Structure 1
Amino acid sequence: MNSFFAVTDNDEILALQPRLTAEDAGVRRIALIALIDLADLEEPEGLLWLIERLADDPAEEVRAEAARLLEAWEDEAVVEALCQALTDPALAVQAAAAQSLSLLKTEAAGRVILPWAGHAETSVRIAALRALRELRFADAAPAAIQALNDTDANVRREAVGVLGWLKQLDALPALASLASADPDTEVRRAATGALGLASGAEVLPALRQALQDSAWQVREEAATTLGKVGQPDAGPALIEALSDDYWQVRLRATRSLGRLKYAAALDALIETLGHRISNLRKEAALALGELHDRGAVAALQAAQDDGDPEVRKAVRIALSQLQ
């Protein structure tokens, strides 16, 4: 690649050349910062120098700085250079490049990144899928579906994220399979959450199964997602989840029962209103208000003197909904 300094006529940038080619890596790094300020305002061609430094500078800290400085540019040559930097031998450079890629916003950037989602190196696949997720790049769906079978759990998790953001309905069977059978807890949790992209009853069996998962994090996600899909048939499983060993699961189940306005949960929610954990009492009060069942009035009135101000506030809100 030809150096930018061969084509520019910007005196301020030309004045930087001695520092940009200095022996001291620290001097070169500071010069790059000055260069990007000038290039951003006056000389877009200055990107060529940063790309060169990203690819060829002998100092890890200079390459990493170049990767960070390139985060604001959507030029396809920049995106390709950042993708190439994902294979840099230095982890700091890889991390800086991955971060810069995750901040890009254009479809053109997605087209450049997409082939890297199938790269031989695991870390590259992870970074590429993460960037594609942030872009909401529709053409990434086939690659993400394929990545659901990756041998690395982190890759599978990023692929789930891509499909969830894209609301890729044809991926629901694969996501349901991961939610119930993936050996990695975080993959199961992410897949369970991604099932919320559907609003139909077809995801209920997988979510009910996830509500019985051995990991409480997955059960918590299942309790949350069951409220999002808006299926009243989820009610009995959520009532059962109010007895979960973990309060986090019980809290999400309480919240979802309110969202579903599941009338049969009245007694269970009134019982939860007396729980020793104040967050659960607060959520129970709010859920009782959402049921719009005056059968909850007496219990809510009795809770008006709760020792926690947040619970008292929730009780007031609930009673106002029942007037």
Structure 2
Amino acid sequence: MTDSIQLNSAPPEAASALMRLAASDATVRRIAVLDLADLEDATLVPPLVAALRDDPSPEVRREAALVLSSWEQEDVVEALCAALLDADAGVREAAQQALAELKEPGSARVLRRWAARPESFARRAALRGLRELRDAAAFEPALAALADADAEVRLEAVAVLGWLKDVRAVAPLAALATADAHGAVRRAAAGALGFATVDEMNETHAGAALLHALADADWQVREEAATTLGKLRTPTARDALIHALADDYWQVRLRAARALGRLGDAHAATAVSALLAHPISNLRKEAALALGELPSAASLAPLRAALDDRDPEVRKAVRIALQQLAQRLDGRLDGRLAVWLEGGAP
């Protein structure tokens, strides 16, 4: 494993570590890998690659995979990808972790090739690495992976497309958000659509897909759909989001309230105001903040009543909302509230 020429020309510290790479004790070899990495010398990368490829100990190979993430030349990326097929699960996981930490755009060329491997773990790891690199050429491999038989591969593909923000992905992601067999994939697809514009959503019917996802059997899909609809400020989502305020899961109600605040449609104020009486304080707080975004005088009375909420964070949110409404309603407030806004007692 250790080249004699390299050993003879190496500095003393490196020479010592290189010699220990040939020790019979796996623990000694593992520490030698760490010592070589600490030297941060690119000329010492080949023995680290050799350790990853050839060492009989999984612990040594795992350590070599982890330290090699500091170097991103093509032979290292290729070696890390090859380690995705290692017989030891720990080595495979370490290689996947190292690939996910790559930052050099040139690494994407190798990863794109591995995204088409027959082994599902290798495909997942390659796509995860591509996600971090935001490589435009990864669009086609990721798009193809949306049809992968492995749900985890599809999840990674969705993440790649979400980061790339390519409008060509809107329609396929919308289809996945409603039709995938796995809730986690539907949820990820609904979230990934957040990069689109309202026009793009309308042109691809993706907005309708998100509204469909808002009624998904999986509450986490509904939560993500509400979040994305709010992020996109989709006007046609108002009624569906108001309906979601009565969802069985408070997390969905919270996201729906937040989304309605982002829409800024005053017609939602009465429905959102009802949440100020909910037993969960986080939901009351979110409802108050949303009401501050809705220019409706109907919000004033319930907000004023909520000034006495038992939770200080809710009371703070109520004060913020009232101050926002004071600006949005052009000063159309009763005298008592106006005094409070100026610092007096309510």
Counterparts of 1:212 and 1:55, CA distance in 2: 49
1:104 to 98, 102, 105: 102
Could you tell me which residue of structure 2 aligns to residue 319 of structure 1?
322
| AA matched with 2:72 | E
Q: For residues 130 and 47 of structure 1, what CA distance do their matches in structure 2 show?
A: 24
Calculate the aligned-residue CA RMSD, in Å. 1.4
Q: SS of 1:23's equivalent?
A: coil
Post-superposition offset of 1:7: 6.8
Q: In structure 2, how many angstroms separate the alpha carbons of the residues matched to 1:238 and 1:53?
A: 56
- Output the CA distance in 1 between the equivalents of 2:280 and 2:48: 55
Report if aligned partners of 2:143, 2:169 keep a CA contact under 8 Å in 1. yes
Alignment match, 2:14: 13
2:54 to 53, 56, 67: 56
**Letter matched to residue 272 of structure 1:** L
Q: Which moved more, 1:231-240 or 1:1-10?
A: 1-10
Partner of 1:151: 149
How do residues 157-176 of structure 1 correspond to structure 2 at under 5 angstroms? Answer: 157-176=155-174
**Structure 2 Cα separation of the partners of residues 241 and 88 of structure 1:** 47
Q: Deviations over 1:16-54 (max 9, x none)?
A: 23311100000000011111112x0xx311001100000
- SS of the counterpart of 1:27? helix
Query: Is 1:224 paired with 2:222?
Result: no
Number of residue-to-residue matches in the alignment: 320
Aligned amino acid, residue 221 of structure 2: V
SS of 1:273 mapped into structure 2: helix
What's the % identity of the aligned pairs? Answer: 55
* 2:113 equivalent in structure 1: 115
Is 1:248 matched with 2:251? yes
2:43 is aligned with 1:35:
no
Equivalent AA in structure 2 for residue 270 of structure 1: S
1:129/1:159 contact within 8 Å kept: yes
In the alignment, structure 1 segments of 5+ residues that lack a partner are: none
Task: Point out where structure 2 has 5 or more consecutive residues left out of the alignment.
Answer: 327-346
How far 1:114 sits from its partner (Å)?
0.9
Deviates more, 1:19-28 or 1:3-12: 3-12
Partners of 2:239 and 2:17 lie apart in 1 by 70
Aligned to 2:340: none
1:239-260: CA deviations, max 9, x gaps?
Answer: 0100111111111000000011
How far did 1:295 drift?
2.8
Q: Distance in 1 between matches of 2:177 and 2:9?
A: 55
* Partner secondary structure for residue 124 of structure 1: helix
Per the TM alignment, residue 268 of structure 1 is displaced from its structure 2 partner at its CA by 0.3
SS in 1 for 2:115: helix
Aligned equivalents of 2:282 and 2:20: distance in 1?
58
1:181 match: 179
Compute the TM-score of the two structures, normalised by the length of structure 2. Answer: 0.90
Q: What is the SS of the residue equivalent to 2:9?
A: coil
Which of residues 253, 272, 291 is equivalent to 1:269?
A: 272
Picking from 188, 192, 196, the partner of 2:190 is 192
Q: 1:7 to 1:128 in 2, by over 3 A?
A: farther
Query: Could you tell me how far apart the structure 2 residues matched to 1:84 and 1:229 are?
Result: 41
Equivalent residue, structure 2, for 1:204: 207
The equivalent residue for 2:290 is: 287
Is 1:22 the counterpart of 2:23? The answer is yes
Q: Is the 8 A contact 1:199 1:231 kept in 2?
A: no
Residue 189 of structure 1 and its aligned partner are, at CA, apart by: 0.5
CA–CA separation in structure 2 for the residues paired with 1:16 and 1:63: 16
Aligned amino acid, residue 275 of structure 2 = T
How far is 1:12 from its partner?
Answer: 2.0
Structure 2 counterparts to residues 71-90 of structure 1, below 5 A = 71-90=69-88
TM-score where L is the length of structure 1: 0.96
SS of the equivalent of 2:269 reads helix
Maintained 8 Å contact 1:76/1:109:
yes
- The worse-fitting range, judged by mean Cα deviation, of 204-213 and 288-297 is 288-297
CA–CA separation in structure 1 for the residues paired with 2:172 and 2:230: 21
**Which amino acid in the other structure matches residue 247 of structure 1?**
W
Q: Residue type matched to 1:56 in 2?
A: D
Partner Cα separation in structure 1 for residue 2 and residue 116 of structure 2: 30
**Partners of 2:270 and 2:298 within 8 A in 1:** no
Q: Return the letter of the residue paired with 1:126.
A: R
- Counterpart secondary structure, 1:118: coil
Give the C-alpha shift of residue 171 in structure 1: 1.4
Give the Cα separation in 2 of the matches to 1:166 and 1:113: 16
Counterpart amino acid of residue 33 in structure 1: L
Residue aligned with 1:322, SS: helix
- Is the 2:162–2:195 contact (alpha carbons within 8 Å) kept by the matching residues of 1? yes
Residue 2 of structure 1 and its aligned partner are, at CA, apart by: 7.7
Residue 11 of structure 1 and its aligned partner are, at CA, apart by: 2.4
CA distance in 2, matches of 1:310, 1:9: 62
